[in-house]
Amino acid sequence: MAKVRTQDLLENFNLTLVAGEDGVHREIMSSDIHRPGIEMTGFFNYYPRERLQLIGKTEMSYFLDLPADAQKDRMEQLCTDITPVIVISRDMAIPEVILETANKSGVPILHSPRKTTRVISRLTNYLEAKFAPFTAIHGVLVDIYGVGVLLTGQSGVGKSESALELVKRGHRLVADDSVEIRQEDYEALIGNSPPLIEHLLEIRGLGIIDVMTLFGAGSVRSYKRISMIIDLELWDETKQYDRLGLDEDTTKIMDVNVPKATIPVRPGRNLAVIVEVAAMNFRLKRMGVNAAEKFSERLTDMIDQGHDME
């Protein structure tokens, strides 16, 4: 899991550090954001001090109505030794007592010009992505007509060669060899390439090639949601492969079940075209068009008609 520090928020968002500079390297341990409204009343029994604290117009209005000694007391309890940061939204004026307490305790105060809901939304999305469950899989991830296809299979089966042909056909490479996957929300798997091998393909006999340099910026993308898995395996004469497409297999990655198709590999089969058609067929199924089911229904109708004629 990636580490997130207050300094990262300063670098990625339109935030201004106004106090507590000594604490910018404090680590944020959770994606949850807390608005300390009830704490402003003096109730700190369940104060989640380890979370990012966000003060909006409501909290600030109540705070400004408190007596000076109560304001000082609330801020001293808000600014603990593990509180990573306090963000104040709407470009509101910040009372001196907040700045003084933050500087004394080393809790960074960040100022945002944006509305509270917008700040919460952007910070939550950023933190959720950073703290999402993570894994890495050996394979190749390609964007085919908007469908994120993860090619898997044993080493040397032809994953990278298929990806190269797909790029030549106008599709986009996301990652080769190692695909880093993080789970966002409940059902979304987002794949990307490790920075060291981003935009690179390894082709046996040629070595490492730079896809973006050879085919242009439109041939690559940094990340893509994984919609389906295509497992390439050497043709096994003893194995019965699906010939209709009625059976839908899935593979579980972390907590998400991903549709999976197994394609046997042998000389003479154009894998890139097959993978491309599999992605298009996947899109059709999502749109409610299932060729296998239509064929099955047509076959059933013909059988029923034959029985009626008897």
Domain boundaries, the chain: 4-130, 134-290
> What is the 8-class DSSP label of residue 220?
B
Segment 269-277 shows an average pLDDT of 91
Is residue 168 among the annotated active site residues?
A: no
| pLDDT at residue 306 in the model | 65
Task: Identify whether the C-beta of residue 155 lies closer than 8 Å to the C-beta of residue 174.
Answer: no
Give the pLDDT of residue 252.
93
Q: What is the pLDDT of residue 70?
A: 97
Q: Which of 177, 225, 260, 285 is flagged as catalytic?
A: 177
Fold match, 4-130 / 134-290: no
- Binding site listing for Mg(2+): 160, 202
Pick the CATH number of 134-290 from 3.20.20.450, 3.40.50.1110, 3.40.30.10, 3.40.50.300: 3.40.50.300
Flag whether pLDDT at 235 surpasses 90.
no
293: confidence class by pLDDT, cuts 50, 70, 90? confident
Is residue 3 part of the annotated active site? The answer reads no
Question: Do the Cβ atoms of 160 and 177 come closer than 8 Å?
Answer: yes
| Mean pLDDT, all residues of the chain | 91
By residue count, the chain amounts to 310
Burial class (CB in 10 A: 0-12, 13-18, 19+), 264: middle
**Which among 57, 138, 168, 298 is annotated as catalytic?**
138
Give me the catalytic one of 74, 111, 159, 172. Answer: 159
User: What is the predicted pLDDT for the residue at 117?
Assistant: 95
Q: Read off the pTM.
A: 0.74
**C-alpha–C-alpha distance, residues 247 and 41, integer Å:** 60
pLDDT band at 58 (very low <50, low <70, confident <90, very high): very high
Give the pLDDT of residue 267.
81
From residue 189, alpha-carbon distances to 141, 148, 159, 170, 229 in Å are 12, 10, 20, 24, 12
Q: Is residue 159 classed as helix, strand or coil in its secondary structure?
A: helix
Average confidence (pLDDT) over 34-47: 96
The residues, ordered by sequence, that sit 6+ positions from 100 with a Cβ below 8 Å of its Cβ are: none
**Counting beta carbons within 10 angstroms of the beta carbon of residue 246, is it exposed (0 to 12), middle (13 to 18) or buried (19 or more)?**
exposed
Judge whether 177 counts as a catalytic residue.
Answer: yes
4-130 topology per CATH = 3.40.1390
- Name beta bridge partners: 110: 17, 87
